Amino acid sequence: MEQTAQSVYAFRAPLLDGRGVSLEEFKGRVLLIVNTASKCGFTPQYGDLEQLYRAYKDRGFVVLGFPCNQFGHQEPGTAREIGIFCQQSYGVTFPMFDKIDVNGADAHPLYRFLKQAKRGVLGTQGIKWNFTKFLVGRDGTVVDRFAPATAPKTLAAQVERLLSEK
Catalytic residues: 40
**Which H helix or E strand runs over 139?**
none
**Which H helix or E strand runs over 53?**
helix 45-56
Query: 3-state DSSP call for residue 38?
Result: coil
Distance from C-alpha of 14 to C-alpha of 81, rounded to nearest angstrom? 16
123: left (phi over 0), alpha (psi -120 to 50) or beta: left
Distance from C-alpha of 44 to C-alpha of 37, rounded to nearest angstrom? 10
Query: What is the CA angle 42-93-79, rounded to 5?
Result: 70
